[in-house]
Amino acid sequence: MNISKEQGLLIAYGGRPYIPPREVHKDFFAHIGFNAFKASGVRCELPFPMFRLSDSRKSEYFVSVRELAKAIADKEEKAKSEYRKFRS
């Protein structure tokens, strides 16, 4: 059985299509502090968007599993391309 990155992430995150940034940070960006990670997301410096469901400044940010999967796929393809160049 071959599942997509998006399907794998959905399974990993309990079927939730939108996840809190803290979970993304813990799983993929633990090498930097959470506040720096969140600030990067707010400034649109991450390879995927973070968004709020309400206009309140107190509302929680979320990350789309679909967008996270796309970002992972893009980084993987870039790494594969660089690897192929190096190996040829």
Contact 81, 41 (CB under 8 A): no
> Which H or E run includes 13?
none
Range of the domain at 45: 5-87
Q: Domain total for the chain?
A: 1
Please determine, for residue 88, whether its predicted confidence score (pLDDT) is greater than 90.
no
pLDDT computed for residue 87 by the predictor = 86
Please write down the long-range contacts of 5-8, taking CB distance under 8 Å and 24 or more positions apart: 5/69, 5/72, 5/73, 6/65, 6/66, 6/69, 8/69
**Pairwise CA distance, residues 46 & 48, whole Å:** 5
Q: What is the pLDDT of residues 59-86, one digit of tens each?
A: 999 999 999 999 999 999 999 999 999 8
Q: What is the pLDDT of residues 20-50, one digit of tens each?
A: 999 999 999 999 999 999 999 999 999 999 9
